[in-house]
């Protein structure tokens, strides 16, 4: 009998340039076992149409007819029968790998202390903690908000999400990854724009209420910029934290500065002017003393993956 490899060669195999999705193979095996796309769909918890489409895609990718379509259901062809053992071996290996991954996730345990400023904690980190808990249920997260970079080397925290300027000298042993440029600019709410319009140039800002404040390092840079462009006297209200300032913007009290990674994510906010050049980047950092800890490694990899996906979604939206 012609084996699967020979059958693939004779019919062109995957040489037609189509890639093969493992979900197509799963659909193939389900139909082979059940004899119909309807029953296969119930097994896989997808629609009958999806199963039929995946089987057709696999046949096209391989250049093989895997089933005979009959009124009573689907019957394997010779080529399809030859492929079943190999597909079942891949299914078994995939299931084993997934189980090992789940076991490793269950084995990861311990406390990981994470620090960031209040605005990033509220808008970026907290929304991710539910999914983090689901993936690593034995890891306990302690989230501390602080306007200063805690001493990672001294054990005050294990991971920090921080804006860091290029000229800032980092303590020995601190290592990390850049999430994105730490761009900030001025935002107002949709409701505010409806009443007062949206300023598009710095000179137009004198006709609007400016909100001041933020955490210590943000307020210092923000005030310096406002003074440099002649707007410091237009500050009508001040707030002691960046989260309070965000709330004030959403309440249509005026215009204020926010990081673009936060402001651009909020459909209720409008960017007023191009980003201000603070010359900093948003980093996810840890310390050499804990970087090889399995729990710390798992958390930092998870956060980096999710934050980077968030940044890329914003970039894709802007490019559209």
Per-residue tokens: 189: 């709410």
Q: What is the mean pLDDT of residues 315-320?
A: 80
Distance CA 208, CA 211 (A): 10
Can you give the pLDDT at residue 12? 38
Q: Is 312 helix (H, G, I), strand (E, B) or coil?
A: helix
Two tokens, residue 74: 């689907």
Query: Is the model's pLDDT at 11 over the cut of 60?
Result: no
- Is residue 189 scored above 60 in pLDDT? yes
Backbone angles phi, psi at 100, to 5 degrees: -60, -40
Model confidence pLDDT, tens digit, residues 206-248: 999 999 988 777 888 888 889 988 899 999 899 988 899 999 9
How sure is the predictor about 48, in pLDDT bands with cuts at 50, 70 and 90? very high
User: Model pTM greater than 0.75?
Assistant: no
Report the chain's mean pLDDT, rounded to a whole number. Answer: 86
Q: What is the pLDDT of residues 93-152, one digit of tens each?
A: 887 777 666 656 556 889 999 999 999 999 999 999 999 999 999 999 999 987 666 778
Euclidean distance between CA atoms 70 and 67, whole angstroms: 9
């Amino acid at each position: 009998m012609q084996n699967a490899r020979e059958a693939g060669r004779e019919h062109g195999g995957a040489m037609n340039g189509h890639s093969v999705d493992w979900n197509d193979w799963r659909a193939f095996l389900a139909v082979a076992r059940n004899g119909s796309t309807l029953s296969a769909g119930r097994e896989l918890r997808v629609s009958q149409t999806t199963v039929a489409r995946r089987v057709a895609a696999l046949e096209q990718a391989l250049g093989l007819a895997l089933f005979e379509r009959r009124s009573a259901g689907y019957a394997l062809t010779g080529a399809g029968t030859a492929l079943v053992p190999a597909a079942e071996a891949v299914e078994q290996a995939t299931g084993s790998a997934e189980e090992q991954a789940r076991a490793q996730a269950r084995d990861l345990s311990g406390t990981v202390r994470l620090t960031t400023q209040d605005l990033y904690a509220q808008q970026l980190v907290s929304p991710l903690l539910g999914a983090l808990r689901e993936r690593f249920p034995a890891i306990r997260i302690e989230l501390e908000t602080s306007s200063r970079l805690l001493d990672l080397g001294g054990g005050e925290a294990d991971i920090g999400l921080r804006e860091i300027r290029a000229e800032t000298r980092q303590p020995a042993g601190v290592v990390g990854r850049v999430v994105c440029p730490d761009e900030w600019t001025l935002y107002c709410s949709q409701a505010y724009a409806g009443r007062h319009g949206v300023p598009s140039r710095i000179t137009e800002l004198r006709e609007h209420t400016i909100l001041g404040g933020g955490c210590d390092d943000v307020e210092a840079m923000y005030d310096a910029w406002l003074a440099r462009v002649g707007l410091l006297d237009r500050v009508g209200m001040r707030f002691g934290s960046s989260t309070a300032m965000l709330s004030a913007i959403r309440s249509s009290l005026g215009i204020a500065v926010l990081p673009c990674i936060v402001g651009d994510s909020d459909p209720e906010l409008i960017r007023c002017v191009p980003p201000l050049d603070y010359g900093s980047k948003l980093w996810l950092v840890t310390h050499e003393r804990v970087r090889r800890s399995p729990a710390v490694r798992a958390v930092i990899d998870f956060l980096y993956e999710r934050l980077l996906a968030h940044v890329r979604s914003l970039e894709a939206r802007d490019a559209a």
